[in-house]
């Protein structure tokens, strides 16, 4: 069945359809922009958490190394500043 619309009425209906399609496309673009922005923010948050965890792990490792060196590695008296100073004092002025 063929419907005949006067040209102005037909133009109005076509314009209404066009506006609806434009609104749908604009909503899709807006949704895509929001999803992209959200994904970028989540990625940045994840990287920040990973960096913080990595830094904490490195600090802990440095702390453990420092404790190990302090506990297990002793400086010989000959290299100690205090013992060197005592030796120089005992030698007296030259």
pLDDT at 2 over 60: no
Query: What digits encode the pLDDT tens for the residues 15-64?
Result: 999 999 999 988 888 888 888 889 999 999 999 999 999 999 998 988 88
Q: Say what the pTM is.
A: 0.47
CA distance 94 to 75: 28
pLDDT score for 43: 94
pLDDT at 71 over 80: no
CA distance 63 to 70: 10
């Amino acid at each position: 069945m063929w419907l005949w619309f006067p040209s102005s009425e037909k133009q109005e209906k076509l314009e209404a359809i066009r506006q609806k399609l434009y609104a749908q496309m604009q909503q899709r673009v807006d949704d895509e922009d929001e999803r992209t922005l959200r994904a970028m923010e989540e990625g940045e948050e994840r990287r920040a958490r990973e960096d913080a965890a990595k830094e904490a792990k490195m600090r802990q490792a440095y702390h453990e190394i420092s404790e190990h060196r302090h506990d297990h590695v002793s400086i010989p008296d000959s290299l100690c500043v205090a013992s060197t100073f005592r030796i120089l004092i005992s030698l007296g002025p030259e």
